[in-house]
Structure 1
Amino acid sequence: MPPTTQQHYGPQFQNAQHQVQQPYFQYSQCNGKKKALCIGINYFGQASELRGCINDARNIQRFLCSNFGYRTEDIVMLTDDAQNPRQHPTRENIVNAMQWLVRGAAPNDSLFFHYSGHGGQTKDLDGDEGDGHDEVIYPVDFKQNGHIVDDLMHQIMVKPLPAGCRLTAIFDSCHSGSALDLPYIYSTEGKLKEPNLAAEAGTSLKTAFTSYTQGDIGGALKSAMGLVKTATGSSQKAEKYARATRTSPADVISWSGCKDSQTSADATEAGQATGAMSYAFMAALSQNAQQSYQQLLNSLRDILKSKYSQKPQLSSSHPMDTNIKFIC
């Protein structure tokens, strides 16, 4: 179980009042109030229609109530088959529901955010993304009112949380590896991932060459620019900036269906349309409810690897011990 005391890390520093301080965070015991927001968007009648997202939202709602002590009356559902217009997953309703989720948050509360729908990327404007792209989610009315960028989701759902308050987020969407802008990303060995300049350079070169040989000059140029960014250390600069501006004393965890560069599958499991990540999350914890964060990340990868290329990601708002038990 997570420790109950404040966890200090990093170098000490003097504040404006010349007091010695050190960055800290606090794990949530998840024994306070519980609230959840589940969003499932099938995009009925649109060219980009999906099949399993509404099922995902409803399945996660039932799973939270059956396994983690949530109550249906404390869970807001936004789906595009809802009869009530306020429950349609429009941009305005999603933003309002995100604000509701974190309102009045206190230490040891447990908040849960689940999104199943389309995800994508847009140009990063503030320098917190190593690949130069922010991640976005697409409300049902995105063609009229636009997407929701990860910077805004972080501003709404992470920044206001006090130390010791848990937010667990699941993004079952494409390009969702860092969809909540959490700066600490973990490997399956439970270790912090650091920018790998050699690997990034190799990937950029390979992509540039493939694009060029296929006649995609624009793609080749984009990959070449990625190589330039790698060579100039922009990934390291972005990581440093992200940790300086996105670290939080709250206990925020995000499970995403894939890396930022990957897509997430709209699949069929047990005869039902479902998002592969949502299915894997419920299957892994149904098989074994007593897992550490590292074990759960590996369980998710193991469930998906036989049928899908996507690799689920674990990120957090603070440096964490991935050997402690996952609770929410």
Structure 2
Amino acid sequence: MPPSSIQNYGPRFEGQNHQTQQPYFQYSQCNGRKKALCIGINYRGQNGELQGCINDVKNITNFLTNHFNYKRDDIVTLTDDATNPRQRPTRDNILQAMQWLVRDAKPNDSLFFHYSGHGGQTKDYDGDEADGYDEVIYPLDHEQAGHIVDDDMHAVMVAPLPAGCRLTAIFDSCHSGSALDLPYIYSTEGKVKEPNLAAEAGQGLLSAVTSYARGDMGGMFKSALGIVKTATGGGQKADKVARATRTSPADCISWSGCKDSQTSADTQEAGTATGAMSFAFIAALNQQPQQSYQQLLNSIRDILKAKYSQKPQLSSSHPMDTTIQFIC
């Protein structure tokens, strides 16, 4: 089980009033309030219509209530077969539901976000993406209202959360590897794929992280700008910006159906339309309910690799020990 104490990491520096400061986060014990938002869009009657996304919402909702003790009254679902206009997955409804999900969040709460639908990419304008593209999701009315960018999803669902609050996100969509802009991406060996924050020693980085924790956006971007100026190369620059502006003391985890460069399958399993990632996530935990993060990542990949080329990703808002048990 995850430790309950504050987790410090990275270099120590002298901060304001000559006090020693160090980046930190806190794991959630997931024994507080539980809330979930599940979105499934089949895009009925549109180009690129999908078949399994609404089923994914039904399956994930049942799984949360049966296995993780979520209550139906605390789960909001948005699907394009809904008769209530407020339950249709339009851009406005999705953003309002995201705000509902994180409203009044407290330490040890467990929030769950699930999205099954189309995903894509668009040009990155703030320099936090090594490949030069932000990841996006497509609401039902995207042709009129536009897509939702990963920067905005992070700002709405991650940035407001306090230390010790869990957000578990599942993106069953194409190009979703970093769809929530969480900067620490893990390999199947349980290691961070890029150099972690401890290796990014520097006063500017610490200032950016502490400014983020205080909600001082001006200070955060000023500090991040200093890091960018000293960085060399697009990938290195993007990595530094992402770590400086996307690290969080909250306990945010994202499971995504594929790498940023890949597509995710809308498929059939046992004769029923489903998203491959949603199916694999449920199947892996049904087979073995108690798994570490590293074990679960490998379990999901093992289920998918027999039939699909997509490689699910695990990312977090802080450096984490992937050998602890996955709870939500």
Task: Work out the CA distance in 2 between the residues paired with 1:234 and 1:9.
Answer: 26
Identity of aligned residues (%): 78
Task: Work out the CA distance in 1 between the residues paired with 2:97 and 2:112.
Answer: 12
> What is the CA-CA distance between 1:241 and the residue it aligns to?
0.9
Indicate the residue corresponding to 1:203 in structure 2.
none
User: Could you say what the CA RMSD is over the residues aligned between the two structures, in angstroms?
Assistant: 0.8
Q: What aligned pairs does 1:1-328 form with structure 2 within 5 A after superposition?
A: 1-194=1-194, 233-328=233-328
Indicate the residue corresponding to 2:221 in structure 1.
none
Amino acid corresponding to residue 20 of structure 1 in structure 2: T
Amino acid corresponding to residue 100 of structure 1 in structure 2: W
Task: Work out the CA distance in 2 between the residues paired with 1:14 and 1:237.
Answer: 25
> What is the CA-CA distance between 1:14 and the residue it aligns to?
2.5
Indicate the residue corresponding to 1:222 in structure 2.
none
Task: Work out the CA distance in 2 between the residues paired with 1:267 and 1:11.
Answer: 46
> What is the CA-CA distance between 1:17 and the residue it aligns to?
3.0
> CA deviation digits over 1:256-277, x for unaligned, max 9?
0000000000000011000000
Task: Work out the CA distance in 2 between the residues paired with 1:275 and 1:79.
Answer: 14
> CA deviation digits over 1:6-43, x for unaligned, max 9?
00000112323332110000000000000000000000
**Superposed structure 1 runs of 4+ greater than 6 Å apart:** none
> What is the CA-CA distance between 1:236 and the residue it aligns to?
1.6
Aligned length: 292
Amino acid corresponding to residue 284 of structure 1 in structure 2: A
Three-state SS of the structure 1 residue aligned to 2:18 is coil
Q: Which runs of 5+ in 2 are unaligned?
A: 196-231
Q: TM-score, normalised by structure 2?
A: 0.88
Three-state SS of the structure 2 residue aligned to 1:100 is helix
Amino acid corresponding to residue 98 of structure 1 in structure 2: M
Task: Work out the CA distance in 2 between the residues paired with 1:72 and 1:17.
Answer: 49
> What is the CA-CA distance between 1:67 and the residue it aligns to?
0.1
Three-state SS of the structure 2 residue aligned to 1:58 is helix
> What is the CA-CA distance between 1:98 and the residue it aligns to?
0.1
Amino acid corresponding to residue 307 of structure 1 in structure 2: K
> CA deviation digits over 1:140-190, x for unaligned, max 9?
000000000000000000000000000000000000000000000000000
Amino acid corresponding to residue 69 of structure 2 in structure 1: G
Indicate the residue corresponding to 2:202 in structure 1.
none
Three-state SS of the structure 1 residue aligned to 2:134 is strand
Three-state SS of the structure 2 residue aligned to 1:113 is strand
> CA deviation digits over 1:65-98, x for unaligned, max 9?
0000000100000000001000000000000000
Amino acid corresponding to residue 95 of structure 1 in structure 2: L
Three-state SS of the structure 1 residue aligned to 2:64 is helix
Task: Work out the CA distance in 2 between the residues paired with 1:17 and 1:59.
Answer: 53
Task: Work out the CA distance in 2 between the residues paired with 1:102 and 1:16.
Answer: 30
Task: Work out the CA distance in 2 between the residues paired with 1:14 and 1:98.
Answer: 37
Task: Work out the CA distance in 1 between the residues paired with 2:290 and 2:9.
Answer: 27
> What is the CA-CA distance between 1:48 and the residue it aligns to?
1.3
Task: Work out the CA distance in 1 between the residues paired with 2:276 and 2:57.
Answer: 13
Task: Work out the CA distance in 2 between the residues paired with 1:157 and 1:17.
Answer: 32
> CA deviation digits over 1:277-300, x for unaligned, max 9?
000000000000110000000001
Q: Which runs of 5+ in 1 are unaligned?
A: 196-231
> What is the CA-CA distance between 1:233 and the residue it aligns to?
2.6
Task: Work out the CA distance in 1 between the residues paired with 2:278 and 2:193.
Answer: 24
Task: Work out the CA distance in 1 between the residues paired with 2:15 and 2:46.
Answer: 53
